[in-house]
A = this chain, B = another copy of it.
Amino acid sequence: MADVARVAGVSPMTVSRAFKRDASVSDATRSAILEAADALGYVFDSTASNLRSQRTDFVAVTIPSINNANFADTVRGLSEGLKERGLQILLGYTDYDVREEERLVEQLLRRRPEAIVVTGGHHTPRTRRLLENSGIPVVETWDLPVAPVGHVVGFSNAAAVHAMVDHFVSLAITRIAFIGGDADRDTRGTDRRAGFISAMRAHGLDAGRLIAAGTPPISMKEGADAMGRLLDTMPDTQAVICVSDLSAFGALTECQRRGVSVPGQIAVAGFGNYEIAGICVPSLTTINPFPDEIGKRTASLILDVLDGKQTGSAAIAIKPVLIRRQSSP
């Protein structure tokens, strides 16, 4: 920066100002400075700026997996909402593991982000403590925790699946199965399964048709295998709710391979409203949790908090919508 200042015939301080949006520098001076910088191949050094100004313009985000279109949609909504203010996302993956989340959160907080967004409301005690003491806005998403750390933008996974069970029962479908993960690793998956069980019990129905499909995330293939086991062991099942559209699609293909008619012999429902659910044949009944909306609302919440417009903790409830399609009556 000193070199640029020398070439442009100004002080380093003026060069610094020329690289900011709103700083008061005359147009002539600024263009001379930017020209000098370009000629010298100078690239602004954020690391020094970050230290001195105590601002990094990072927003830390943790998602379970990069390879999931739902979370990717949330990150995209978030990213776009934050970009206009010059905030950049610092992304990390927890691999559906709260221990990994703990390591990740600590690592991310060291980078001094302006805010942190985590997926889900289940954390290790230490993660919780780190978040609480971080001194920055914390947003939990994709869940509605009973005792949130800070702000919340999400929905109840259990309630959403509960609504799907209610829907089937209203159609006089009562022998309903659930395909999901076999571990408690994916806390959203566990919540969905819990919603299934509580809904079945609320209707006085058998909640025992649970098929474990593997460790999260459940792939299409695992969904197909689980459907095979369901058809083999409980052939009188009338409907199956899958933990995600991906496993539901896999289940659907298994029916196609076996010549089992959907929804004629068995109805299939998914979760997430992935693109595939709307286009596959038959199209999949599912629940839309509005992943992009979660991202957008989180972004504007963060901006409001950083601007001081939002004081106190916000709890923004997204209302998932059940989408009836061809895979169910």
Contacts and interface: CB of A to CB of B under 8 A. Distances in A.
Contact of A279 (B43, B47, B66, B221): B221
A253 interface: yes
B224 A43 contact: no
A109 B43 contact: yes
Contacts of A109: 43
A46 B110 contact: yes
Given A47-B56, A67-B72, A281-B253, A41 B133 contact: yes
A275 interface: yes
Nearest to A280: B253
B46 A111 contact: yes
Within the oligomer, what is the number of copies of this chain? 2
Secondary structure call for the A interface: helix
B66 A75 contact: yes
A257 B281 contact: yes
17 contacts: A43-B110, A47-B51, A48-B51, A50-B50, A50-B51, A66-B66, A67-B69, A67-B73, A76-B93, A79-B93, A88-B92, A88-B107, A89-B91, A220-B275, A221-B278, A249-B276, A253-B280
A66 B56 contact: no
Contacts of A250: 279
Contacts of A66: 66, 72, 75-76, 79
Interface in A174-230: 219-221, 224
Nearest to A133: B41
Interface string A86-125: 0011111100000000000011011110000000000000
Contacts of A56: 47
Contact of A47 (B79, B112, B224, B278): B112
Interface in A122-147: 130, 133-134
Contact of A221 (B51, B73, B275): B275
A239 to B, nearest CB: 21
Contacts of A265: none
Most buried by B among A76, A278, A280: A280
Contacts of A50: 47, 50-51
A232 interface: no
A4 B109 CA distance: 18
